[in-house]
Chain A
Amino acid sequence: MIDCKNAGEKIHEYLDGSLDEAARRELLGHVEACVSCRARLDQWEQAVSALEGLRPIEPPATMLHQVMALVQERATNPKLVWRKLLYRVFVPASAALGLLLLLLPSSGLLHLFSSGADTTVPTSDVTSSVLGESGQALQGLANQGVDLFDTMLTSGAIAQVGVVLGACLILLAAGVLLWHLLDRERTRRMLRV
């Protein structure tokens, strides 16, 4: 049974259009018999129709243009573009490179780079004739370089440098990613206000 006490909520549901047929008929039955509930229904209904009768107010005609000008500014803002590049290109690239450097020594692939103990940079007539003495000096330096690389390779120094470098790159990538995620979370929270 509806009494005046719970009729208020029913009237609101009626205004929302969420009462089923039976409940609607029950409410209207009460309202017909009860002056104070009829007054409530009328007044609330009038308030709603007055509110919905307000004409929509159109924004200034420049709104679209102004918003899009700001959007374009953001899309081409070097600072923002640079940041996008940072987390879209730099993070995956440095993580991949770091991982490669870390895994290279254990994969045995590093030895493919070894030139073999007795390899030297080949002498060509062209280099010696064109560059003369300075050319030969350069060639000597190159040979020394190859020797040094081989020594480091066999002693494991290259592998160690690679591992350290790889670890640094992965840490860096993780740091940038974390910074980016924190920043994103801050934006998200700001949008929630």
Chain B
Amino acid sequence: MVSEALGLAGWRLPSLALAGKGDTPNDGVLEPDEVWVERARRHPDAFAELVRRFQSRIYSLTYRMTGNREDARDLTQDAFIRAYDGLSTFRPNGRFSPWLYRIAVNLCLNHLRRRREETDLGEIEYSLRSGTLEEVVENREMEKTVARAILSMPTHYRSPLLLRHISGLSYEEMTQVLDMPLGTVKTRLHRARELLSARLRLEGVEGIG
């Protein structure tokens, strides 16, 4: 398990090594995503830049939504391909990232709806933080518990929770991604946080921080 978790670090692309969640590789002036959408319409190769920018964020989301590495890979791939196929339907004054998130979330929800059986909680992964062995073991257990708590939630709570706290979206963006009024988004997110908190307490997680 440890080697598996360590293997994750090896997967990281050099350009993404410093990119945390919600970040893009920052090399000074970054052209807006929409400029690359325009380019990708004419030259398919330009789409690579959009994949580079969003693959970590979309993968994190699909992974936390499904709790399964293979599913996350397939769903991320599928989201990008559908986005590419739909570039001609992309509104010229729209923003690319909520649109892409929306495709990814909808694919996840469809997938979870189809996949009726229980999520395989044994497959949950976690990554290591640097620290003493004791801390590492503690963190691993913690991450596992949190991941399990997320997956035990109904999907209509899971998606706003992840979009807000894993993907770092604003409420405004969430209304676009989830296609819901602001009030509904807020209510669901707040309820989801309470649910998560309750599940974590049930699992005996105290004094997290």
Contacts and interface: CB of A to CB of B under 8 A. Distances in A.
A75 B44 contact: yes
A66 to B, nearest CB: 6
A1 B21 CA distance: 38
Q: Could you tell me the dominant secondary structure of chain B's interface residues?
A: helix
Interface stretch (B28-36, B55-63, B115-123): B55-63
Contact of B89 (A52, A59, A188): A188
Interface stretch (A42-50, A131-139, A141-149): A42-50
B70 to A, nearest CB: 10
Q: How large is the interface on B (under 10, 10 to 19, 20 to 34, 35 or more residues)?
A: 35 or more
B205 A74 contact: no
B47 A47 contact: no
Contacts of B205: 46, 50
Given A70-B77, A184-B89, A193-B107, A50 B82 contact: no
A46 B125 contact: no
Given A50-B205, A54-B64, A67 B89 contact: no
Contacts of B47: 67-68, 71
A72 B44 contact: yes
Given A56-B56, A57-B59, A187-B86, A63 B147 contact: no
A71 B13 contact: no
Contacts of A58: 8, 11-13, 16, 56, 59
Given A51-B150, A57-B127, A72-B44, A67 B103 contact: no
B56 A54 contact: no
Nearest to B57: A56
A59 B76 contact: yes
A184 B88 contact: yes
A49 B127 contact: no
Interface of A: 8-9, 12, 15-16, 43-44, 46-61, 63-64, 66-68, 70-72, 74-75, 184, 187-188, 190-193
Interface of B: 8, 11-13, 16, 20-21, 44-45, 47-48, 51-52, 55-60, 63-64, 72-73, 76-77, 80-86, 88-89, 102-103, 106-107, 109-110, 125-127, 129, 142-143, 146-147, 150, 161, 165-166, 171, 179, 186, 189-190, 193-194, 196-197, 200-201, 205, 207-209
